Amino acid sequence: MTQYLLAVHHASAGPDIPPEEWRQSFADVDAFNEKLTGAGAFVFAGGLLTDSATVVRQAGGDFVITDGPYTETKEHLGGFWVINAADLDAALEWAKLATAACRLPIEVSPFDEREADELLVELQDEQGRWRDAR
Partner 1 sequence: MTVEAVFRREYGRCVATLIRFLGDIDAAEEAVQDAFTVAVARWPTDGQPPNPGAWIVTTARNRAIDRLRRESVRDERHAQAHHLYGAAAQAAEDDALAPEEETVPDDRLRLIFTCCHPALNQPAQVALTLRLLGGLETPEIARAFFVPESTMAQRIVRAKRKIRNTRLPYRVPAEAELPSRLQPVLAVVYLIFNEGYAATADSLIRLDLCAEGIRLARVLADLMPDEPEAQGLLALLLLLHSRSAARVSADGSLVRLAEQDRRLWDRGLIAEGQAIVRACVQRNHPGPYQIQAAVNAVHSVAPSFDKTDWHAILTLYDQLYALTPTPVVALNRAVALAEVHGPAAGLAAIDDLRSAGLDGYYLFHASRADLLRRLGRSTEAAAAYSAARALTANPVERAFLDTRRAALSPSDSAQE
CA distance 24 to 32: 12
CA distance 43 to 55: 26
Beta carbon nearer to partner 1, 20 or 132 = 132
We find the least distance from the C-beta atom of residue 95 to partner 1, in angstroms, to be 11
Beta carbon nearer to partner 1, 12 or 109 = 109
Beta carbon nearer to partner 1, 67 or 115 = 115
CA distance 81 to 9: 12
Binding site for partner 1 (CB under 8 A): 2, 86-89, 91-92, 108, 110, 112
We find the least distance from the C-beta atom of residue 111 to partner 1, in angstroms, to be 9
CA distance 31 to 36: 9
Beta carbon nearer to partner 1, 51 or 87 = 87
Instruction: Please spell the DSSP secondary structure of 37-79, one letter per residue.
Output: HHTT-EEEEEE--GGG-EEEEEETTEEEEEES-SS-SSEEEEE
We find the least distance from the C-beta atom of residue 71 to partner 1, in angstroms, to be 24
We find the least distance from the C-beta atom of residue 2 to partner 1, in angstroms, to be 6
